[in-house]
C-alpha cells in the first residue's frame, strides 16, 4: 500500500512536469511567432477620399462687388408756373417716352397764344396796306407826281412791318411752347417713383422738389472695381471681343442677369490702386434694381482641356502648391505642382499632374510619404463656373 501511494505521487509529479514543459514550449513558440509576424503587419491603412484628375474647359472669372445704377434718371419738374390740374401716372408705373404725367392749367398760356396770333394778323393787314401804298408811290414817281424820298420812306415802312410780323411769329412760337409745357410728358422710358406734388398745388420751374423721379432700368448698368493688377487681363479680353459679365445676388448664389462689359474707366484710383468698370445688362425682367449691391463675375478667358481636381485636394506648403497622389500600390506621395484655385469646388493643375491620376481629397492631415491608404469613396470633379482665386 505504501509503495502504491509513492508511485502515485511520482506519476502525478511527472504528469505535472510534462504539462508545465508543454506550456513553456507553447509560450515560447507564441512569442517567437508574434515577434516575427508583427513587423510584417505594419500600421493600419489610413482611410481617405479621393478623386481622379479629369480634363474639361474651365471658364475663368474675376469677381467683384458692384452697385446697380439706372441708365438714366430724370427729375420731373414743371417748366412753367401754374396750378396742377391733373396727375396722370400711378406711383411705380412703367411709362413710355411721351406719356402724359401731369397737366398744368393751360388757360393763361392759351390766352397768350391767342393774343400773339391776333397781333400777327393785325400786322399782316398793315403790311398789305403798306405794300399797296408803296406800289402807288412807285407808279407816281415815274410820272413825276411823287418824290423818290417818299418812295424810300414807304419802302422802309414795308420792311419794318415785315420785321414786326417775324417778331409776331416768334411770339407765337414762344406762346405755343409755354402751352406745350403745361402738359408734362415722360422724356424717357422708365419707372415712375413717388409722387411729390398733389393736384391743386401751384408749381414753379425753380421748385426744390420735383413732381416725381423717372428712372430708366431697362437696360441697367453695374459699376464695380477691380485691383489694378487685373487691368491687363481685362483689357486683353476686351481686345478679343465682347466680355461677358454675370450679376449675382448679394449672397453670391443666384444669378440675376447676364450682360457685357461696357467700359473701363480712364483713370486708376491711386489711393486704393483700383480701377472702375461699367457693365450693361438688358434687364428685361427687371431683376436688377438701382442702388442694389450685386456680385459681378467677369469672364476673362476659358482654359481649354484643363486638368481639374477638387479644390480641397490642392494644398499649400512653404514651397508652393502640392497634392497627395495615390500610387497603384495604394501608398501616397507628396507631389509639388503648379496650380490655381478657380472657385470653392474646382482647382486647375497647370503642371505636375497627369489626367487619370488619383489625388487625396480628404484625410491629408494623417498622411506621410509612403503611407498606405484605403479609399472610401471618390469625389467627382465639379462643373460649376469658375472664379479667379
* pLDDT tens sequence across 14-42: 555 666 666 655 555 555 555 454 444 56
The 3-state DSSP class for residue 170 equals: helix
pLDDT tens digits, one per residue of 351-374: 999 999 999 999 888 889 999 999
Would the pLDDT of 193 be above 70?
yes
Q: What percent of the chain has pLDDT over 70?
A: 86
Q: What is the mean pLDDT of residues 66-83?
A: 95
Is CATH 2.30.110.10 the classification given to domain 63-70+216-303?
Answer: no
Number of Cβ within a 10 Å radius of residue 292: 17
Would the pLDDT of 121 be above 60?
yes
Q: Please report the pLDDT score of residue 238 as a whole number.
A: 93
Q: Give the span between the Cα atoms of 200 and 85, in whole angstroms.
A: 6
Q: Please report the pLDDT score of residue 376 as a whole number.
A: 83
Q: What percent of the chain has pLDDT over 90?
A: 71
- Kindly report the CATH number that applies to the domain delimited by 47-57+304-387: 2.40.420.20
Q: What is the mean pLDDT of residues 321-338?
A: 93
Q: Please report the pLDDT score of residue 21 as a whole number.
A: 61
Q: Please report the pLDDT score of residue 222 as a whole number.
A: 97
Would the pLDDT of 385 be above 50?
no
Domain boundaries, the chain: 1-34, 47-57+304-387, 63-70+216-303, 81-202
More confident residue, 26 or 102: 102
Q: Please report the pLDDT score of residue 342 as a whole number.
A: 87
Q: Please report the pLDDT score of residue 378 as a whole number.
A: 53
Residue 72 grid coordinates: 438714366
pLDDT tens digits, one per residue of 145-169: 778 888 888 889 999 999 999 999 9
Q: Please report the pLDDT score of residue 211 as a whole number.
A: 95
Q: Please report the pLDDT score of residue 106 as a whole number.
A: 96
Q: Give the span between the Cα atoms of 299 and 34, in whole angstroms.
A: 64
Phi/psi of residue 313, each to 5°? -75, -20
Q: What is the mean pLDDT of residues 189-200?
A: 94
Amino acid at each position: 500500500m505504501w509503495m502504491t501511494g509513492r508511485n502515485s505521487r511520482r506519476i502525478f509529479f511527472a504528469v505535472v512536469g510534462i504539462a508545465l514543459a508543454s506550456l513553456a514550449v507553447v509560450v515560447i513558440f507564441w512569442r517567437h511567432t508574434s515577434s516575427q509576424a508583427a513587423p510584417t503587419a505594419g500600421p493600419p491603412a489610413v482611410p481617405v477620399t479621393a478623386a481622379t484628375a479629369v480634363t474639361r474647359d474651365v471658364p475663368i472669372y474675376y469677381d467683384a462687388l458692384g452697385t446697380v445704377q439706372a441708365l438714366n434718371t430724370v427729375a420731373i419738374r414743371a417748366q412753367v408756373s401754374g396750378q396742377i390740374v391733373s396727375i396722370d401716372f400711378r406711383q411705380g408705373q412703367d411709362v413710355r417716352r411721351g406719356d402724359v404725367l401731369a397737366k398744368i392749367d393751360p388757360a393763361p398760356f392759351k390766352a397768350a397764344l391767342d393774343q400773339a396770333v391776333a397781333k400777327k394778323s393785325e400786322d399782316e393787314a398793315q403790311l398789305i396796306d403798306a405794300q399797296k401804298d408803296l406800289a402807288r408811290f412807285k407808279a407816281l414817281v415815274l410820272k413825276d407826281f411823287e418824290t423818290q424820298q417818299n418812295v424810300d420812306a414807304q419802302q422802309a415802312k414795308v420792311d419794318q412791318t415785315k420785321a414786326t410780323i417775324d417778331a409776331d411769329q416768334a411770339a407765337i412760337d414762344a406762346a405755343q411752347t409755354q402751352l406745350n409745357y403745361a402738359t408734362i410728358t415722360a422724356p424717357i422710358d422708365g419707372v415712375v417713383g413717388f409722387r411729390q406734388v398733389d393736384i391743386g398745388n401751384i408749381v414753379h420751374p425753380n421748385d426744390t422738389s420735383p413732381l416725381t423721379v423717372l428712372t430708366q432700368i431697362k437696360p441697367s448698368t453695374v459699376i464695380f472695381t477691380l485691383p489694378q493688377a487685373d487691368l491687363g487681363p481685362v483689357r486683353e479680353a476686351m481686345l478679343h471681343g465682347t466680355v461677358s459679365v454675370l450679376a449675382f445676388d448679394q449672397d453670391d448664389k443666384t444669378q440675376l442677369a447676364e450682360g457685357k462689359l461696357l467700359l473701363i474707366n480712364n483713370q486708376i484710383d491711386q489711393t486704393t490702386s483700383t480701377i472702375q468698370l461699367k457693365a450693361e445688362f438688358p434687364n428685361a425682367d427687371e431683376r436688377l434694381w438701382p442702388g442694389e449691391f450685386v456680385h459681378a463675375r467677369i469672364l476673362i478667358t476659358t482654359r481649354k482641356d484643363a486638368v481639374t481636381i477638387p479644390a480641397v485636394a490642392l494644398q499649400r506648403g512653404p514651397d508652393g502648391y502640392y497634392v497627395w497622389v495615390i500610387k497603384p500600390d495604394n501608398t501616397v506621395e507628396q507631389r509639388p505642382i503648379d496650380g490655381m484655385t478657380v472657385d470653392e469646388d474646382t482647382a486647375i493643375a497647370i503642371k505636375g499632374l497627369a489626367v487619370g491620376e488619383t489625388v487625396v481629397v480628404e484625410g491629408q492631415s494623417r498622411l506621410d510619404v509612403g503611407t498606405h491608404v484605403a479609399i472610401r469613396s471618390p469625389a467627382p470633379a465639379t462643373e460649376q463656373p469658375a472664379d479667379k482665386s
